Amino acid sequence: MATAGKVIKCKAAVAWEPNKPVVIEEIEVAPPQANEVRIKIVATAVCHTDLYHLLESMAIGGFPTVLGHEGAGIVESVGPGVTEFQPGDKVIPVTLSQCRKCRFCQSPRTNQCEVAWTRIRQEIMSSVVSRMTCKGKRVNQFMGTSTFSEYTVVDEIAVAKIDPDAPLDKVCLIGCGVCTGYGAAVNNAKVEPGSSCAVFGLGAVGLATVMGCKAAGAKRIIAVDVNPDKFGKAKVLGATECVNPKDHDKPISEVLAEMTNGGVDFSFECVGNVEVMRSALESCIASWGVSVIVGWTDMYDVAIPPGHLIAGRTWKGTVFGGFKSKDGVAEMVKAYMDKKLNLDELITHNVTLDQINDVIELMRHGKCIRAVMSVSPQ
């Protein structure tokens, strides 16, 4: 490639400060250093975690930054020491690394990677030295990925190689929300055939959880959201019933307990709200119920009576749906190519990166599931 080894000037959406619209700017992206890969991003979507960092988190650090962590692209060039990737490879950058060498990567008990785990700096939500600058200022790379840019540089341990025939404007969703939700059901909860499940929050993450529950053979999948506009998609993707907590005077956990003779076998919180996390736990049956926290927040602690757990419920969380990132992404792309995974239903809008502030508004107001933005031409 003519650009290899050179600084690339390109377009990116820069978040200069929290609670303000992002700005399309020209940025400079440095060449990849040792063990890094420079990627031309072709398509990307907004996940609620981007919104959380921009609009909701109390953390004031981390700006300016280029957000975006659900994207797909093509390798433009590689740094010294990179052997797994070549220019032209189709890839998905991931927030969770898989170095394959550390004790976590070598253990079947977790999908976390100790390398990223020790490196992540919470205050800037990044684990990498940024290769991006704008107007003479270094710009953080949110979650190490920064997919709201025509080009980005990512550590090779956080890049997944995918099927060269995969349509990037679809499989970009596998970079976060889809793996997270689907895997929460099949890997973390280990949903059993014939079981009952409740999924709280029907964004892309919750809808992917519904798909995971269905694939695992759940008999009842109760979809819960305060926005009834989400129920149509939930039904298409496998929900057997839909419940709006606002339609009931009693707590939603009591409503679900009545519907299921004491509580569901598996519940999932896909909202990022500590009250909902508690409700989800209380909605699963004592003795064997399993509740998985999928939504993200660091604003409040969550409190419950210890008796909820003493009674035999299990409470767990998930990062990236329990998938080891490189392996899981490749596996889920294959599932899409084999028509075993429905991504198309999650895409409600197709726009360009220039329209990112409109997409943020749509998501804020619950008007879209995923808007796929085209970034660079292929």
Ligand X SMILES: NC(=O)c1ccc[n+]([C@@H]2O[C@H](COP(=O)([O-])OP(=O)(O)OC[C@H]3O[C@@H](n4cnc5c(N)ncnc54)[C@H](O)[C@@H]3O)[C@@H](O)[C@H]2O)c1
Q: Among ligand X, Zn ion, none, what binds residue 286 when CB lies within 5 to 8 Å by partner kind?
A: none
- Token couple for 146: 């920064």
Torsion of Cα atoms, 73 then 76 then 78 then 82, to 10°: 50
Which residue from 134, 226, 259, 302 is in contact with ligand X, where contact means CB under 6 A?
A: 226
Q: Which long-range contacts (CB under 8 A, 24 or more apart) does 281-284 make?
A: 281/308, 281/313, 281/315, 282/251, 282/253, 282/308, 283/198, 283/252, 283/253, 283/256, 283/257, 284/198, 284/313
Q: Please state the separation of Cα 321 from the chain's center in Å.
A: 9
Assess 120 for contact with Zn ion (CB under 5 A). no
39 is in the binding site of which of Zn ion, ligand X, none (Cβ under 5 to 8 A by kind)? none
- 145 in Cβ contact with 127 (< 8 Å): no
125 in contact with Zn ion (CB under 5 A): no
Burial of 2 (C-beta count, 10 Å sphere; 0-12/13-18/19+):
exposed
> Which member of 47, 159, 174, 221 binds Zn ion (CB under 5 A)?
47
Of 102-110, 130-138, 154-162, 224-232: span binding ligand X (CB under 6 A): 224-232
Residue 375 CA from chain centroid, whole number: 19
CB-closest chain residue to ligand X: 203
User: Coil, strand, or helix at residue 9?
Assistant: strand
Strand, helix or coil for residue 249: coil
Is 113 one of the binding residues for Zn ion (CB under 5 A)? yes
CB of 296 to ligand X, least distance (A): 4
Burial of 298 (0-12, 13-18, 19+ CB in 10 A): exposed
The binder of 99, among Zn ion, ligand X, none, by C-beta within 5 to 8 A per type, is Zn ion
Regarding 45 and contact with ligand X (CB under 6 A), the answer is no
Q: Is 200 among the residues that bind ligand X (CB under 6 A)?
A: yes
Given Zn ion, ligand X, none, residue 198, with its beta carbon under 5 to 8 Å by kind, binds none
Q: Which does 202 bind (CB under 5 to 8 A by kind): Zn ion, ligand X, none?
A: ligand X
Our finding on whether 335 is near ligand X (CB under 6 A) is: no
230 makes contact with ligand X (CB under 6 A)? yes
Q: Which two three-digit tokens encode residue 60?
A: 């004031």
Decide: residue 367, CB within 10 A, 0-12 exposed, 13-18 middle, 19+ buried: middle
Select from 71-79, 140-148, 306-314, 316-324 the region that touches ligand X (CB under 6 A): 316-324
Give the contacts of 95 (CB within 8 A, at least 6 positions apart).
Answer: 69, 143, 144, 145, 158, 176, 320
* Measured distance CA(320)–CA(88) in Å, rounded: 26
CB of 49 to Zn ion, least distance (A): 4
Binding to ligand X by residue 276, rule CB under 6 A? yes
Q: Which of 33, 35, 110, 227 binds ligand X (CB under 6 A)?
A: 227
* Using rule CB under 5 A, residue 99 touches Zn ion: yes
Near Zn ion by CB under 5 A: residue from 10, 82, 102, 189 = 102
Whichever of 206 and 263 has its CB closer to ligand X, that residue is 206
Q: Does 348 participate in binding ligand X (rule CB under 6 A)?
A: no
52 binds ligand X, rule: CB under 6 A? yes
Q: Is residue 59 within the footprint of ligand X (CB under 6 A)?
A: no
Question: Is residue 272 involved in binding ligand X (CB under 6 A)?
Answer: yes
Selection from Zn ion, ligand X, none that 182 binds (CB < 5 to 8 A by kind) is none
- Which partner from the list ligand X, Zn ion, none does 295 bind, CB cut-off 5 to 8 Å by kind? ligand X
Residue of 286, 330, 329 whose CA lies nearest to 309: 286
Contact indicator for 205, 216 with CB cutoff of 8 Å: no
3-state secondary structure of 174: helix
Binding site for Zn ion (CB under 5 A): 47, 49, 99, 102, 105, 113, 115, 176
Binding site for ligand X (CB under 6 A): 47-49, 52, 176-177, 180, 200-206, 224-227, 230, 245, 270-273, 276, 294-296, 318-320, 363, 366
